[in-house]
Chain A
Amino acid sequence: MNTNVVDRADAPTLSIAMEERGAARANAAKAVAEKLDFWYGSNQALKNINLLIPENQVTALIGPSGCGKSTFLRCFNRMHDLQPDTRYAGSIMLHPENVNLVGKDVDPIEVRMRIGMVFQKPNPFPKTVFENVAYGLRLRGFNNRTELGERVEKALRGAAIWDEVKDRLNDSALALSGGQMQRLCIARALATEPEILLFDEPTSALDPIATAKIEELITELRQRVTILIVTHNMQQAARVSDFTAFMYLGELVEVGATSQIFTNPSKKATEDYITGRYG
């Protein structure tokens, strides 16, 4: 697990700078974006992105609105396929099988089973707590009541919400608080045991306590799942991530250990953004 990043990343441009002493060391790559371009119609939103996502660690994507960080995140589970007139070039290779996630021959539904996503606004289905989590499992063909129950409980425990909902499994999910709904959505994403979890501004609609619970959860989850998180909250990126990537105008400007990016970034553009000198 703790092998050096260079083992799987052949291209030097993909490696994460780690010369800084005391900085986090990258695990082996779980996914590698290489020469990734993306277009909405004629508008190029991502330009030549080369980024290594280390396994079982948290990578944060930061940058001003419109820089392409959410667009990049959505490439991983093929969310863009739901929109007409979008186009990918380059690759995102998922390890260890070396599947190109944005390849034409890859089934987006299968990709989404392996790569879960949690959105900015909690979006539970208008169903019971239990059914919200069981939904993805049923899609995968799990129908045995006992097995479903076990897997739902495991996912709810994994999302640190089991104790709060174990007596209300048949209540509507819409009756939960915002923070609970968001953790339910995380449980729903966890149920199919994804390899990568994508978080798109997961706490921007939550109060500080609910935010702290989600952040704590992210820290726990990374022992099992590779995590990619988009956030506008710089302190959040600093608190929860191992690596931080700064994007600007569709390009990846700088990536490095979070401790290094927030104390001594190597690019002036990064420094200006994180210190609030941008714009």
Chain B
Amino acid sequence: MDTAAHARASSDPGDPHTLGVVDESVAGLRLHALEMGALVIEQVATAARSLLERDMKLAQLVLARESLVDDYDRRLDRDSLTFIALQQPVANDLRLSRAIVRIGRELERAGDEAKKIARFTLTLGQTADGDPVVAVSRQLRHMASLSGSMLRNAVRAADEMDVTLAHSVLERDAELDAEFAAALRLVMSYVLQDHRFLRPTIDTIFALKGLERIGDHATNIAEQVLYVKEGARG
């Protein structure tokens, strides 16, 4: 520990503590956040596929797994609280324990969006003749791919505490927003032509909005990485 050489630089939350039990708590929190992240990534991808491919089984699968996501969220909440109560973390350990709770919350909300998209798939049913989903399928596909990739990178950045990767997630949010605006214009022109599709059009808008929100949750996760590593954000 050289006092002069260490200017503004934070140790990685994974760096070993003198007390092994602290390392175990931190490792446990990070592992469960990663597992939850992987589950939500899968939920979002499955929900988007269920919609694009009109696959009821995939939609049912998303709904069935929803409670697992909630379980992880509660577990992260509980384990972070225990860590704070028993180990009294400070500085980057404290920031990490708060970030983990917030990341859990963002993942849980992203999981909710996946659930809503899956429900929409079920409402929409098998009929594929000239409905609004087909009209914006290219945009839906692109938004699903973009938000999915943002979420994957955000979860990976959180697992590896990778600031550069976190920044790359933040940079892509504008692209997703622009794509959403374009899809919205398209689907609105569609409903103006044929009023019979008002209800499915509204649902389609919600599905598009859901994908856009998933990108926001990924952005918020990336911001937590910056908060842990740099401490600058609230």
Residues A248 and B17 in contact in the complex (CB < 8 Å), given A262-B91, A263-B91? no
Among candidates B1, B18, B19, residue contacting A248 with C-beta atoms closer than 8 Å: B1
Does residue B89 face the partner (Cβ distance < 8 Å to A)? yes
B191 neighbours in A (Cβ, 8 Å): none
| Interchain residue pairs A-B with the least CB separation, the first 4 | A264-B231, A268-B6, A262-B90, A271-B91
Among candidates B7, B19, B22, residue contacting A267 with C-beta atoms closer than 8 Å: B7
A239-279 CB mask vs B (1 if < 8 Å, else 0) is 00000000011010100000000111111111111111111
Residues A277 and B16 in contact in the complex (CB < 8 Å), given A253-B3, A263-B231, A268-B6? yes
Among candidates B1, B94, B95, residue contacting A272 with C-beta atoms closer than 8 Å: B1
Q: Considering the complex, give the chain A residue whose CB is closest to the CB of B7.
A: A267
A274 neighbours in B (Cβ, 8 Å): 90-91
Among candidates A235, A248, A275, A279, residue contacting B91 with C-beta atoms closer than 8 Å: A275
The interface size of chain B toward A, counting residues with CB under 8 Å, comes to 24
Q: Considering the complex, give the chain B residue whose CB is closest to the CB of A268.
A: B6
Among candidates B3, B9, B92, B231, residue contacting A275 with C-beta atoms closer than 8 Å: B92
A99 neighbours in B (Cβ, 8 Å): none
Does residue A234 face the partner (Cβ distance < 8 Å to B)? yes
Chain A interface: which size bin? 20 to 34
Does residue A238 face the partner (Cβ distance < 8 Å to B)? yes
| A276 in contact with B3 (CB, 8 Å) | no
Q: Considering the complex, give the chain A residue whose CB is closest to the CB of B2.
A: A269
| A269 in contact with B6 (CB, 8 Å) | yes
> Is chain B's binding surface mostly helix, strand, loop or mixed?
loop
Does residue B194 face the partner (Cβ distance < 8 Å to A)? no
Taking A263-B95, A269-B6, A277-B18 as known contacts, 8 extra A-B pairs with beta carbons closer than 8 A to each other, sorted by chain A number, are A249-B3, A251-B3, A267-B6, A267-B8, A268-B6, A275-B92, A275-B93, A277-B17
| B19 in contact with A276 (CB, 8 Å) | yes
Q: Considering the complex, give the chain A residue whose CB is closest to the CB of B90.
A: A262
Q: Considering the complex, give the chain A residue whose CB is closest to the CB of B16.
A: A277
| A279 in contact with B18 (CB, 8 Å) | yes
Interface centre among B2, B18, B90, B95 (most CB of A within 10 A): B90
A235 neighbours in B (Cβ, 8 Å): 88
The smallest beta-carbon distance between A109 and chain B, in angstroms, is: 36
| A269 in contact with B3 (CB, 8 Å) | yes
18 A-B interface contacts by CB (under 8 A): A238-B90, A263-B90, A263-B91, A264-B91, A265-B91, A267-B6, A267-B7, A268-B9, A269-B1, A272-B15, A273-B1, A274-B90, A275-B11, A275-B17, A275-B91, A277-B15, A277-B17, A279-B18
